[in-house]
Structure 1
């Protein structure tokens, strides 16, 4: 005879999944008595399948309750690494959504993202791309390509591409980087047509657009352009080029336009954010600097410094804001940087143009090999830094850089 707590659990589980809802099954799984952890994968799968069988017996094969259960079953199968069955379950759930809500129902979107993930795991990038295209078309059919509500859909698609690119950097990430570039252009057109500059969301999206252009430009710089003509590098979808310099110029112009628009948007916000505006101008200067436009960078840095000299900004903030070099990075607003507990300290000279010179390790650990030190030096030298500003003018400065063996930190 089972112990009382287990017996009570069995009764509770049956009562929770009796109504065949995904919520009931989810609660049942979460309340497993196995030391507060989720049920064994096989038991979880059995629960979903039993609930599906009961729902079909009590209603019909296209009951709306079934779509959520098939979603849960698909996710459980993914966790169990049974990808073929997961794909079948998700396709079945999506079919039920279409039967109940129509061929263009936006509720199909979560299924398509998971199916795209499964296609990626299987190495079927063409099918994954088709799934992303379907997500876009569903949003477009429901809202319209230039409707502000499309931003949510475009954000999700962009994040999907970025996540998969980071998991597949280098040449193998071409499809993802090209997809991110295409989505960023769709976001750009939507913002220009439908989002006023004073909208609080506008500066965030302009920052995002610049970050994507920097990511694509970095890819082209490191890997070159593919020989295929499917990699679009201009706003005209019918025009391609194999010139790396032409591609770099395209991304430079796009990023520059986004950063200028970000400054304008921050200037038009109903609630003033002076420091945000100063930082936006400085980021525009950073953009000029890394793309070799030194004269424009100096002028923009000077403008940022002069903007900072406002009576609403304390003297302490004014003196500290540009007092140290800062690593130039264009990251997506929602991205977070990895932290490491294993910190090394390096001293370096940052030139007026943001180049790194005279790298020296400060009290390096004994097990830090010469090969590791050479690798770290190479990595640091690839970075560009915003130079220290003195009266608005860039100047050389010694800077301490804190980094980990696997990830450089400022």
Structure 2
């Protein structure tokens, strides 16, 4: 699912974000009203006020018994082949790369289109919110429902202005007031929690973001019931976020990301099977991500063999409705992933109308799995099976070019089913507390590499490093690439050597 900030303006946004009673007391001009609505539109994606159907019970909720609820090609690598490599580099670690595509951004309407030709005075908007909140509290008391709306609007404007800590405080007050007025389990808290998640992530507060994600999940479970299939999209979203968070750090204490992701995906598989049957195409995404979780568990065990026996429980209370995550840890991680991919192929066999490109992509993923665990011959056999699956398909050459036209760093993580988009870069404001815009650019190294037919890197040329002269950055990137594996490029049905393949390696701040 792709989202744009403007198209996701929720119903009655002006009522939800900026109460008419509050506006009347604030005495905003029409320009400020338009400005506030623009901020709301831009931030709808960031806080996902309307982004996830599960955040709004009774509206736009998917019909679980319909096979068209989610596209069966959600996890289709043909549509989501990676172009930029996000890299978690560890000294002496095996592959801990994360490949992903950021969802495309559609620019919101310009100020001119909205009739806002003057300078966008964000600070004036903040001051008006603060003044309105103070006046509303004096006139109606500290628990008036309008205060929750005003606090949420203030949080959005603060988030947009990079004042994340203040935004979190505003969101927390809005949540507190919603719990008082709407009830402790009310889903009206969901947009504020998403704003907190965004703010915590921007501040690098990953554990706090995890806690907010758990609270969001808990609200949905309390509203719908712990085994309601409407939880599945949220399980997938949170699971993918935890996998991405682990891949970007890979520290010993970060195993809770994997524990949480595995429990969520096991639960999603169990709920989907119960609701739609054991051969539903909706199982493909959770199965693939469960396999990826198994791979990262294997990486973690390789990195920290002395800590592997520590039975630390998963934080924040996620509970599996299928097999326990402890079973996954004790079992053979390679076989767990293999079982997931074979189940996916079995699902496609029982869905003859499923797109051939999805079947081919799954064979390619199975080949990647074999390659990651050192089974070269089995990997090549699976890759050739992907080619065979496309015989007679009109778009065969296009699909093969997407799957095998360039080397692919492994493992490949699929694009998130739901990912709240950031505000479009053309509309972003300079952080008032930090004039150095470099703080918002991840360190990276651009390289050109040779990749062998076996998926190994044999030559690395550094093209550009940012920031320049960053201590140890280039050496860390080289170390990581030398132990990485790639799906090789194919030509005329055979794996071939690739010279000077350019990639951009992103590294966490």
1:276 to 358, 365, 368: 358
Q: What secondary structure, in the 3-state scheme, does the structure 2 residue paired with 1:18 have?
A: helix
The answer to whether structure 1 residue 303 and structure 2 residue 385 are counterparts is: yes
> 2:34 aligns to what?
27
Give the conservation status (yes or no) of the 8 Å contact 1:197–1:264: no
> 1:154 aligns to what?
235
Give the conservation status (yes or no) of the 8 Å contact 1:154–1:187: yes
> 2:367 aligns to what?
285
2:264 to 147, 163, 183: 183
CA distance in 2, matches of 1:153, 1:282: 27
> 1:135 aligns to what?
216
Give the conservation status (yes or no) of the 8 Å contact 1:259–1:284: yes
* Deviation, structure 1 residue 63: 3.9
> 2:172 aligns to what?
91
> 1:11 aligns to what?
none
Q: What secondary structure, in the 3-state scheme, does the structure 1 residue paired with 2:179 have?
A: helix
Give the conservation status (yes or no) of the 8 Å contact 1:158–1:183: yes
* Deviation, structure 1 residue 97: 1.7
Task: Describe the superposition over 1:164-216 as per-residue Cα deviations: whole angstroms up to 9, x where unpaired.
Answer: 44664534644434433333333233233324466554433433333344344
CA distance in 2, matches of 1:402, 1:390: 15
Give the conservation status (yes or no) of the 8 Å contact 1:98–1:104: yes
* Deviation, structure 1 residue 282: 1.7
* Deviation, structure 1 residue 274: 0.8
CA distance in 2, matches of 1:28, 1:208: 41
CA distance in 2, matches of 1:38, 1:216: 48
Instruction: Provide TM-score, normalisation by structure 1.
Output: 0.70
- 378 and 114 in structure 1: CA distance in 2 versus 1, 3 angstrom threshold: same
Q: What's the C-alpha RMSD, in Å, of the aligned pairs?
A: 4.8
Q: What secondary structure, in the 3-state scheme, does the structure 1 residue paired with 2:499 have?
A: strand
* Deviation, structure 1 residue 120: 7.3
CA distance in 2, matches of 1:193, 1:21: 54
- 405 and 375 in structure 1: CA distance in 2 versus 1, 3 angstrom threshold: farther
CA distance in 2, matches of 1:195, 1:122: 40
* Deviation, structure 1 residue 144: 2.4
Give the conservation status (yes or no) of the 8 Å contact 2:273–2:283: no
Q: How does 1:227-306 map to 2 (within 5 A)?
A: 228-230=310-312, 235-236=323-324, 249-250=332-333, 252-269=334-351, 271-294=353-376, 296-306=378-388
Q: What secondary structure, in the 3-state scheme, does the structure 2 residue paired with 1:350 have?
A: coil
- Structure 1, unaligned runs of 5 or more: 1-13
* Deviation, structure 1 residue 403: 2.4
Q: What secondary structure, in the 3-state scheme, does the structure 1 residue paired with 2:452 have?
A: strand
The structure with the largest helix share of the pair is 1
Give the conservation status (yes or no) of the 8 Å contact 1:20–1:65: no
CA distance in 1, matches of 2:325, 2:473: 44
* Deviation, structure 1 residue 285: 2.0
CA distance in 2, matches of 1:181, 1:239: 11
The answer to whether structure 1 residue 17 and structure 2 residue 23 are counterparts is: yes
> 1:7 aligns to what?
none
- Structure 2, unaligned runs of 5 or more: 1-19, 39-110, 315-319, 420-440
The answer to whether structure 1 residue 350 and structure 2 residue 453 are counterparts is: yes
CA distance in 1, matches of 2:463, 2:212: 49
CA distance in 2, matches of 1:366, 1:40: 36
* Deviation, structure 1 residue 343: 5.9
Give the conservation status (yes or no) of the 8 Å contact 1:165–1:177: yes
CA distance in 1, matches of 2:206, 2:399: 50
* Deviation, structure 1 residue 329: 3.1
> 1:50 aligns to what?
131
Instruction: Provide TM-score, normalisation by structure 2.
Output: 0.58
- 349 and 158 in structure 1: CA distance in 2 versus 1, 3 angstrom threshold: closer
* Deviation, structure 1 residue 218: 3.3
Q: What secondary structure, in the 3-state scheme, does the structure 2 residue paired with 1:229 have?
A: coil
* Deviation, structure 1 residue 281: 1.2
* Count of aligned positions: 377
Give the conservation status (yes or no) of the 8 Å contact 1:146–1:193: no
* Deviation, structure 1 residue 273: 0.9
Q: What secondary structure, in the 3-state scheme, does the structure 2 residue paired with 1:346 have?
A: strand
> 1:64 aligns to what?
145
CA distance in 1, matches of 2:193, 2:119: 29
Q: What secondary structure, in the 3-state scheme, does the structure 1 residue paired with 2:120 have?
A: coil
